[in-house]
Chain A
């Protein structure tokens, strides 16, 4: 069974700073997807960034980038120039390519951006 672990329950940084959220996962699969989702107080889960395991290049979306270390099964999210609107719960998630394509989520990290 796949598991996803986020070891930082809460983080807090000042606006404009850079912050890195950690995630590790466990799987025996060789082909899979990894995701970071953002869940603001409105509760709607919003996709931040996606990484395909077969791609060596780290995904980037504007201020958001990942550090994907496949051998270490590590998938961290870096937020540059953090903004007040980045305040939310952040969930790391895993999905296999085979079978039912279900998302397996970590416990989440509560990120607060302070003015």
Chain B
């Protein structure tokens, strides 16, 4: 059974640029949730995708967007990067209906300069 993977591990971008982060869900899982974890804080929910449709969104601006593919892998896109977007981005996969069993990936550390 393959666990949740994320790429890249680390990323440095300049303010105003765009970034795409990727997540491969655990085998058999059809739901992916994305979280932003600022330094020293708990993770905050960005959005969730279930069977390629957005299934809930947290308090993040529209420049945070996502996508889920037929194989249930997912992308998080952030446009017009701001310094405050610097954070650890975590994705978690689960099986729809059993979303209380969320398995996290190792995260992508994004630094915006």
Contact = CB atoms under 8 A, between A and B. Distances in A.
A105 interface: yes
A40 B41 CA distance: 14
A22 B48 CA distance: 28
20 contacts: A43-B109, A44-B104, A45-B43, A45-B104, A47-B101, A93-B42, A95-B100, A100-B55, A100-B56, A100-B57, A101-B48, A101-B56, A101-B94, A101-B100, A103-B33, A103-B35, A105-B42, A105-B44, A107-B42, A108-B41
- The secondary-structure label for the interface of chain B is strand
A91 B55 CA distance: 24
Interface of A: 4, 33, 35, 42-47, 50, 91, 93, 95, 99-108
Given A35-B100, A102-B45, A103-B45, 13 more contacts: A4-B42, A43-B106, A43-B107, A43-B109, A45-B43, A47-B101, A47-B103, A50-B100, A91-B43, A100-B48, A102-B56, A103-B33, A107-B41
B44 to A, nearest CB: 7
Pick the most buried of A91, A99, A103, A108: most chain B CB atoms within 10 A of its CB. A103
A55 to B, nearest CB: 13
Contacts, number: 57
A45 B45 CA distance: 14
**Which residue among A35, A43, A47, A104 has the maximum number of chain B CB atoms within 10 Å of its CB?**
A43
Contacts of A91: 42-43
B88 to A, nearest CB: 6
A20 B89 CA distance: 29
Interface string B8-24: 00000000000000000
Interface string B37-60: 000111111001000000111100
Contacts of A100: 48, 55-57
A35 B58 CA distance: 19
Contact of B43 (A42, A99, A101, A103): A103
Interface in B68-113: 88, 90, 92, 94, 99-107, 109
